[in-house]
Amino acid sequence: MRPDTPAAHTTEAERLLRTAAQYPGDREPLYLRAAAHLELAGDRPAATALYDELLSGEPANPLLIRALKAANLWEYGHEAEARAIIEGVRRARPADAAPWQITAETLEAHDELEAAEKTLTEAAELLATPPDLPHATQSLLTTRHRVRRMLALPHDTWDTRADALHAGDVPLDELHDPKRLWSLGSEDPAELQAEITRLRSELGTYRTALSRPFPVAVLHWPERELDELLTAYPELEAEYPTYRAHLTDIEASLRELSQAGTPNLGIVRATVPSYEAFAASESTKPSNADLLPQYATTLAARGRATAWPPARGADCWCGSGRTYGECHGGTEQD
């Protein structure tokens, strides 16, 4: 269950920091997730301290950390420092979308629309040239489309591409129409219902928590691991009646989440020794089914998730050796 109070966010941050102490090789992603929870708890100085601690070493993603730090600093009054960091991130020209997205949306959140549009255009020119774009880059183009609509700029090539990539029922031009706010004051039930539909579609594509690159992850137990798990903990058979049902449930769950608009979906491969170690770190028994989603979330935070759906022509996530389209990606699953 996602924490929804400051105290719960603080508790989750503390848990992630304890996990980082146990798994120093996974320190960076765990610290970033802990910092995000501290921000949500309102303890922004503590979040900044975590970002600084990471930057004092040799982090794998220094530009991402700097972008997150800038967003956090600006929120509690350190605008000048945040601006300087953002300018440094832009000059460094990150090779992935997340730092660009975070810096641009930080500017947007503080009514710096022209600077946000310029940042997103620079990112698009650098990252959006390949024919097949990852979700993060598609999200960047969608954000750029929204900012340009607010600036009343005419469509350009990147806006047209964002329109083509958008899979929602409501077109981007309608979602990003600045005049939509007027419909919220309407007394016409049809207009209000139309706005509700648009908002639901928009929530499906709008990033959450500053687009932190931690997917919503689903556990995949390889067949041998699942057999070992159920032999040791038969109480979990209700969760996993058969291996085939387990695979079917994974694909069905991910498709349902995707259709609901949940971004950054992933699959994490579970192992019994890892799961038992995690249960011990949480002072609970592995037979506790409530631990499974928490285990999946922690693996994802440690960078162990594989993005879903697989790229076109890639092997299926289940390990069958067939392509995803021939296996679980088909319209009718075997």
pLDDT digits (tens, 9 = 90+) for 83-130: 999 999 999 999 999 999 999 999 998 989 999 999 999 999 999 988
Per-residue model confidence (pLDDT) at position 40: 85
From residue 94, alpha-carbon distances to 10, 74, 116, 294, 329 in Å are 31, 21, 16, 31, 32
**Domain spanning 61-211, CATH architecture:** Alpha Horseshoe (1.25)
**Phi/psi of residue 14, each to 5°?**
-65, -40
pLDDT tens profile 243-288: 999 999 999 999 988 887 777 788 999 999 889 888 887 788 999 9
Per-residue model confidence (pLDDT) at position 271: 92
Output 68 or 282, whichever has higher pLDDT. Answer: 68
Helices 27-40 and 44-55, packing angle to 10 deg: 160
Computed over every residue of the chain, the mean pLDDT equals: 85
Output 220 or 195, whichever has higher pLDDT. Answer: 220
Q: Which pLDDT band holds residue 49 (cuts at 50, 70, 90)? A: very high
H or E stretch at 5:
none
Per-residue model confidence (pLDDT) at position 281: 75
pLDDT at 170 over 60: yes
Average pLDDT over residues 158-178: 84
Ramachandran category for residue 48: left, alpha or beta (phi over 0 → left; psi -120 to 50 → alpha): alpha
Residue 305, SS3? strand
CB 185 within 8 A of CB 235: no
Mean pLDDT lowest among 13-17, 115-119, 298-302: 298-302
Output 175 or 24, whichever has higher pLDDT. Answer: 24
Distance CA 268, CA 29 (A): 15
Q: Which pLDDT band holds residue 226 (cuts at 50, 70, 90)? A: very high
CB 271 within 8 A of CB 220: no
Per domain, the residue ranges of the chain are: 61-211, 216-307
